[in-house]
Structure 1
Amino acid sequence: MTVLMVSGTGTEIGKTVVTSAIAAAAVASGRSVAVLKPAQTGVDATEPGDAAEAARLAGPTVTAVELARYPEPLAPDTAARRSGLPTVSPTAVAEAASRLARSHDLVLVEGAGGLLVRFDEAGHTLADAARLLDAPVLVVAPAALGTLNSTTLTAEALRARGVEALGVVIGSWPAEPDLASRCNLADLPSSAGIPLLGAIPEASGSLLPESFRKAAPSWLAPSLSGTWCPDSFLRRWPA
Structure 2
Amino acid sequence: MTVIMVSGTGTEIGKTVTTAAVAAVALAAGRSVAVLKGTQTGVAPGEPGDAQEVARLAGDAVTTRELARFPEPLAPDTAARRAGMTPVSPQDVADAARKLAVEHDLVLVEGAGGLLVRLNDEGGTLADVARLLDAPMLVVAAAGLGTLNATTLTAEALRARGVAQLGVVVGSWPAAPDLASRCNLADLPGASGRALLGAIPEGSGLLDGPAFRAAAGSWLGPELGGTWDGASFAVREAPAPR
Match of 1:149 in 2: 149
Match of 1:183 in 2: 183
**SS, match of residue 13 in structure 2:** coil
Offset at residue 137 of structure 1 (A): 0.4
Does residue 46 of structure 1 match 2:40?
A: no
Match of 1:74 in 2: 74
Following superposition of structure 1 onto structure 2, how do residues 28-39 of structure 1 map, counting pairs within 5 Å? 28-39=28-39
CA distance in 1, matches of 2:32, 2:74: 32
**SS, match of residue 111 in structure 1:** strand
CA distance in 2, matches of 1:158, 1:236: 31
Does residue 233 of structure 1 match 2:233?
A: yes
Amino acid at match of 1:79: A
Offset at residue 236 of structure 1 (A): 1.1
Amino acid at match of 1:228: W
Following superposition of structure 1 onto structure 2, how do residues 83-232 of structure 1 map, counting pairs within 5 Å? 83-232=83-232
**Structure 1 residues not aligned, in runs of 5+:** none
CA distance in 2, matches of 1:42, 1:158: 27
Amino acid at match of 1:134: D
Offset at residue 34 of structure 1 (A): 0.4
1:71-113: CA deviations, max 9, x gaps? 0000000000000010111111110000000000000000000
**Structure 2 residues not aligned, in runs of 5+:** none
1:150-187: CA deviations, max 9, x gaps? 00100110000000011010000001101100000000
**SS, match of residue 194 in structure 1:** coil
Match of 2:11 in 1: 11
Offset at residue 191 of structure 1 (A): 1.9
CA distance in 2, matches of 1:210, 1:26: 15
Offset at residue 192 of structure 1 (A): 1.7
Offset at residue 238 of structure 1 (A): 1.1
Offset at residue 46 of structure 1 (A): 1.4
CA distance in 2, matches of 1:207, 1:28: 17
CA distance in 2, matches of 1:105, 1:223: 16
Task: Using the aligned pairs only, state the percent identity.
Answer: 72
CA distance in 2, matches of 1:225, 1:50: 22
Q: How many residues align?
A: 239
CA distance in 1, matches of 2:227, 2:128: 31
CA distance in 1, matches of 2:214, 2:124: 37
